[in-house]
């Protein structure tokens, strides 16, 4: 019996994270894997409500059928993105995989490393925005941080315009 693979993809709905998602669907995901989209929202910029329940530990797993619904995504403070939904819906059908989303709040670097351990993930795929040396030095690179601090295999997909 094969062990279940949990493949994480960091998604912030930017073109670089969508490229990473497409790459993962084409090159990593295989039948019966569990694909987990991980999105990180800014901390503390929301009204009181459901999000406060999960602020420390992240949301419960949100199945594809639910995160396809804009109203559900609004409850988590996440922008509905039809392109991402289309990518994962098509991939889920073709590859016969379960797709889930988990939302965290806080610093993306720390929360991605936390997700690796708490889910736990077999590997994680992250996009790279291609920051120059100066911007990377001042802003920090999320992908670089996860490569150096994550406890599973990390693949960085470089985004090309």
pLDDT of residue 133: 55
Instruction: Indicate left, alpha or beta for 13 from its phi (over 0: left) and psi (-120 to 50: alpha).
Output: left
Domain-wise residue ranges, the chain: 6-158
How do the residues of the chain divide into helix, strand and coil, expressed in percent and rounded to 5? 40, 20, 35
- The CATH code that applies to domain 6-158 is 3.40.50.620
Single out the residue of 17, 49, 63 nearest to residue 158, CA to CA.
17
User: What's the half-sphere exposure (Cβ side, CA atoms, 13 Å) at 94?
Assistant: 9
pLDDT band at 156 (very low <50, low <70, confident <90, very high): very high
Query: Tens digit of pLDDT for each residue in 78-96?
Result: 889 999 999 999 999 999 9
8 and 119 in contact (C-beta within 8 Å)?
yes
pLDDT of residue 140: 54
pLDDT of residue 145: 92
**pTM of the full predicted structure?**
0.88
CA distance 143 to 127: 7
154 and 123 in contact (C-beta within 8 Å)?
yes
Q: What is the mean pLDDT of residues 47-53?
A: 59
């Amino acid at each position: 019996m094969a062990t279940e693979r949990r493949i994480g993809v960091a998604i912030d709905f930017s073109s670089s994270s969508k490229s990473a998602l497409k790459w993962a669907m084409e090159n990593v995901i295989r039948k019966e894997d569990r694909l987990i989209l991980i999105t990180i929202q800014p901390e503390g910029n929301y009204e009181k409500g459901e999000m406060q329940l999960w602020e420390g530990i992240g949301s419960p797993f949100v199945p594809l059928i639910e995160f396809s619904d804009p109203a559900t995504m609004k409850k988590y403070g996440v922008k509905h993105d039809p392109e991402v939904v289309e990518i994962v819906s098509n991939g889920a059908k073709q590859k016969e995989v379960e797709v889930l989303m988990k939302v965290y709040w806080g610093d993306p670097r720390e929360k991605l490393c936390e997700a690796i351990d708490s889910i736990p993930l077999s590997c994680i795929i992250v996009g790279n925005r291609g920051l120059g040396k100066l911007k990377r030095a001042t802003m920090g690179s999320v992908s670089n941080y996860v490569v150096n601090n994550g406890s599973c295999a990390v693949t960085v997909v470089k985004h090309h315009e």
